[in-house]
A and B are shown apart, each in its own frame.
Chain A
Amino acid sequence: MTISRRRVWAIARKELQEYRRDITVVAAMAILPVVFLVQPLVQVFTIPVSAAAALRHEHALLYLLGVPVLVPAALAAYSVVGERLQATLEPVLATPISRAELLLGKALAAFVPSICVAYGVFALFVAVVEVLARPEIASAFIQGPELLAQLLFTPLLVVWSIWVGIAVSTRVRDPRTAGQLALLVSLPTVAVTTLVAFNIIPATLPMALVLGAALLLLDLLGWRATSAFIDRERLITAT
């Protein structure tokens, strides 16, 4: 089976055009990161210098990994139910597009803004801390290995959340339910990143490798499972 890039991009482009003009999507993308920035920023500016050494055993930066989990889930949750709402599934499914192309197009459309928002939030946090916090605090907060983990885990988490969001979207009738359900289903993932951030799950190299491998596997399985939901008859009759 060959994948037509033109068709994948046609779907991705129109999704991005829709997201851009949907105020609820734009609002969700703006609010979620803010929610995640508040707690670590408050901590940065309230903690006494004497506590900086203790801080080195926490990984506050990793707390921000909630962003690449929740933003794509919220976006992808809209992707099928939104089409159902506008009755656009029927004309799309009547074109020669394959299910892989449709799924890739939708995933790409959620991937691009999610990655931008996630990396944007990290960059903002790092910049604020480096510029405004005291050097002792800044060096405790921002550590090389954590930054690397951040960069590598973000796309893995985004992809996983996209599959979760799309899978939820194919089974649900209205966008609000889809959004809430997708966030709910993503909570266990956020719980894991939070436990790592608070050092309850030890953030060691072996643990990073195990978690990375597990995520990669989940991403591949998620692709398979979600493909099965993109079935013409199933999508058309589940209205």
Chain B
Amino acid sequence: MAGSGAPALSVEHLSKHFGRRVAFDDVSFEVQRGEVFGFLGPNGAGKTTTVRTLCTLLAPTSGSATVAGLALVPANGERIRRRIAIMPESPGLYLRLSVLENLRCFADLYEVPSPAARIDHALRAVNLADRARDVCGSLSKGMRQRVALARALLTEPQVLFLDEPTSGLDPAAAREVHELIDELRRRGVTVFLTTHRLAEAERLCDRVAIFNTTMRVVGRPGDLRDRLFRREYAVRTAAPLPEPGRVFDGLPAVEGWRPDGVAGYVLAVSEPAVAVPEVTRALVAVGADVLSIAESRHSLEDVYWALIDQDKLADQSELAGRDKLTGQSKLIGQNKRSGPE
């Protein structure tokens, strides 16, 4: 679905500093039209500041960007704001006003033609048509979030920014929001979604950026896994192998191995199509009863922790003048916290 033509967002070396404090630094990426792009990072990583900068609420300190086809410069502020919509971190509803009154206000601020029909449409999209007359202060957190989403859908935004749309929601409410985002994807809306929830990014996003003040990696969740970790296979046997080293060490397609439990082994392989039959033959040859050989998949979570832990290590060694951004290659083969998916 990722569309043709100019990208919906194009960001080059963008930075925002508050005085001496760096909110984000040297960020570059592109988001294609129709894409759901995830911006994943821990609290304080600079996600909200990035969204606010791209939404023209804050002026970048340096760098450049194009938002919905327009250069991010003060002169374009109003025109950019006409083309985008934002659902901020906290819903920001007028709590004394009804859902309808809130949406009416924003429909007028966006000068939406035939506002009544448009409001009705947006309320239906978030399944809140029957709560239109309720005072926002009386709604649950999940419902407020949905009202905020309806507000962002009053126009047909070219880019929709969702800043932690499920933060503070219980699992059921979060799932509803996820379903709404899936629906947006089906309709081809370009979504820029920030989150600190890994599962959310993996489930919803076409591509994910892992971000911690500066950009760490960008890619499809699956590609990120493959880029950062080598392929691993988990072998289970009925009984422990007496000398596993003699079985695995000689196999050309097996690059390394380590024990995993009593009668289990994790093998790092280069070429699964060669390695798996090779391993099977070797095990049979030593008389082992093979229970299973399965790919052990890394989740996005592994990628995330690998990078974020690395940032922490880099922070610790910053005194020694080391650069945070080096050593991505050191990750290869590192697989803490890996586990069954």
Contact = CB atoms under 8 A, between A and B. Distances in A.
Q: Do A and B bind each other?
A: yes
Interface in B64-109: 77-78, 81-82, 84-86, 88, 90-97, 101-102, 104-106, 108-109
B108 A96 contact: no
Given A14-B101, A18-B96, A90-B88, A7 B111 contact: yes
A9 B52 contact: no
B151 interface: yes
Most buried by B among A21, A98, A232: A232
Contacts of B78: 96, 98
B57 A94 contact: yes
Contact of B92 (A9, A17, A88, A237): A88
B58 interface: yes
B56 interface: yes
Contact of B59 (A7, A88, A98, A233): A233
A90 B58 CA distance: 11
Contacts of B88: 87, 90-91, 94
B56 A232 contact: yes
A208 B305 CA distance: 73
B97 A236 contact: no
Interface string A90-105: 1111111110000000
A10 B108 contact: yes
Nearest to B112: A6
A90 B92 contact: yes
Given A93-B57, A95-B110, A236-B58, A22 B96 contact: yes
B94 A14 contact: yes
Contacts of B110: 95-96
Given A17-B101, A96-B81, A232-B57, A88 B109 contact: no
Nearest to B55: A94
Contacts of A236: 52, 57-58
Nearest to B135: A21
A13 interface: yes
Contacts of A14: 94, 97, 101-102, 105
Interface residues of A, number: 29
Given A21-B96, A88-B94, A7 B109 contact: yes
A50 interface: no
Contact of B57 (A21, A97, A98, A233): A233
Contacts of B106: 10, 91, 95
A86 interface: yes
A232 B86 CA distance: 15
A4 B111 contact: yes
B58 A233 contact: yes
A194 B110 CA distance: 45
Contacts of A98: 78
B146 to A, nearest CB: 14
B92 A87 contact: yes
A236 B56 CA distance: 11
Contacts of B57: 90, 93-94, 232-233, 236
A6 B104 CA distance: 11
A89 to B, nearest CB: 8
B48 to A, nearest CB: 9
B164 to A, nearest CB: 13
Contact of B109 (A18, A86, A97): A97
Contacts of A95: 81, 106, 109-110
Contacts of B52: 90, 236
A188 B108 CA distance: 39
A21 B110 CA distance: 25
Contacts of B18: 237
A10 B81 contact: no
Nearest to A6: B108
Contacts of B58: 232-233, 236-237
Nearest to A102: B109
Interface in A1-32: 4, 6-7, 9-11, 13-14, 17-18, 21-22
A27 to B, nearest CB: 15
Contacts of B59: 233
Nearest to B101: A17
A233 B84 CA distance: 18
Nearest to A91: B92
Nearest to A101: B109
B318 to A, nearest CB: 27
26 contacts: A7-B109, A7-B111, A10-B104, A10-B109, A14-B101, A18-B94, A21-B96, A86-B95, A91-B86, A91-B88, A91-B148, A93-B57, A94-B55, A94-B57, A94-B88, A95-B109, A95-B110, A96-B78, A96-B81, A96-B110, A97-B109, A233-B57, A233-B59, A236-B52, A236-B58, A237-B18
Given A10-B105, A17-B94, 20 more contacts: A6-B111, A10-B106, A14-B102, A14-B105, A17-B97, A18-B96, A21-B96, A86-B95, A87-B88, A88-B93, A88-B94, A89-B92, A91-B151, A94-B56, A96-B110, A97-B109, A232-B56, A233-B57, A236-B57, A237-B58
5 pairs of A and B residues whose beta carbons are closest in the complex: A10-B108, A95-B109, A87-B92, A21-B96, A87-B90
